[in-house]
Amino acid sequence: MLAAKEFQAAAAMNPFDERAACRLGDVEMDRANAAAALAHYKRALELQPSDVDANAGMARALQLLGRASEALPYLERAVQLNPLEPSAHYRLAGQYRSLGRTAEADREFAEFKRLRELKQGLLDAYKQMHIQPAGPAREDPETAK
């Protein structure tokens, strides 16, 4: 995988490149190697504890390794760092549900749905703006008579 080699080269050139460490964790997750991913996410978090992707990745790796109870603080941190990311709320809702924290799970799932709908509304509006004709506004055929 070319991307993996590029991230490895970036990490070798600059051992303080937390983005490269995080992306290497993503590569290992894609390869279903949660143990290796965990090491990369851990390194990224050592370098930058407020990296949203590294926190979320760390949680996913821990969950896949059967260490779900350790994942909760990373998911909560990811939501705290980026409260507008729907997927973070969805994952946190699932984690709360697995721990029997139903009220918190319901709250996070409701926030996930709200954000997902908001995001879709913005995407729809953006698409509509791009299909408007360019140039001067057209006259309304009813008022042009």
**pLDDT 10s per residue in the chain (145 long)?**
556 666 566 656 656 667 888 888 999 999 999 999 999 999 999 999 999 999 999 999 999 999 988 999 999 999 999 999 999 999 999 999 999 999 999 999 999 999 999 988 888 888 888 754 444 544 444 444 4
- Domain encompassing residue 38: 1-67
Contact 116, 87 (CB under 8 A): no
For residues 10 and 42, membership in a common domain is answered with: yes
Burial of 22 (0-12, 13-18, 19+ CB in 10 A): buried
For residues 13 and 53, membership in a common domain is answered with: yes
Is residue 76, in this structure, part of any structural domain at all? no
Provide the 10 A C-beta neighbour count for residue 6. 12
For residues 59 and 109, membership in a common domain is answered with: no
DSSP state of 132: S
Is residue 135, in this structure, part of any structural domain at all? no
> Which amino acid would we find at residue 17?
D
For residues 59 and 90, membership in a common domain is answered with: no
Q: How many structural domains is the chain composed of? A: 2
Is residue 18, in this structure, part of any structural domain at all? yes
User: For the chain, how many helices (H) and strands (E)?
Assistant: 7, 0
Q: Which of 40, 67, 94 is the last residue of a domain?
A: 67
